[in-house]
Structure 1
């Protein structure tokens, strides 16, 4: 009879230790409040356009049930390349605009109505 009591107590103690260890390692629910949808822990510039280096510099926190770092890193690299292509295309267009004699920021289009006869009259009428 004494062996049965010792066995039951041993099983209870081992089970309790396993539960305690699992609780410490895996946590007992959310320990942090939910994230504010209007605020991100990641920081990107707000005073200028985002560049490829900004995207490459983003580092996300990793948790036990986190993300696959290789997939997110691949995605960030693709976004950075897209930003580099966009920036290169924008720079090329601005250079062409400057070479044509129209500085950036000025409207190169003719005033409205100037190309269609001035007073709105049709040419074939």
Structure 2
């Protein structure tokens, strides 16, 4: 029985020593704060975002997935650029349709529909 008691006390001392060593109960300096991971290769700010920029975009992992701020920033930037491109495409398609209509009117010798009665004199 005495041997069992000695083993239990020895085990408790070993567990306490290991716990103190892991937790840092000594006089050693505490670990420095780790800087949070940030997006290393953000989307370019000096030019429009291209297909290769989106394909190479990688978000750093956080304890529960990805950092929400990094993902929100990237998605906001992509949404803004896609909106600008959609508006530009709509403007160009409208200009192209107008140019085609004007060319068709010139070929057939018809007056343009935008002219009023006073313009046809």
TM-score over 0.5 (shorter chain): no
Larger Rg: 2
- Smaller-chain TM-score range? 0.3 to 0.5
- Using structure 2 for the length normalisation, give the TM-score: 0.40
Q: Which has the higher helix share?
A: 2
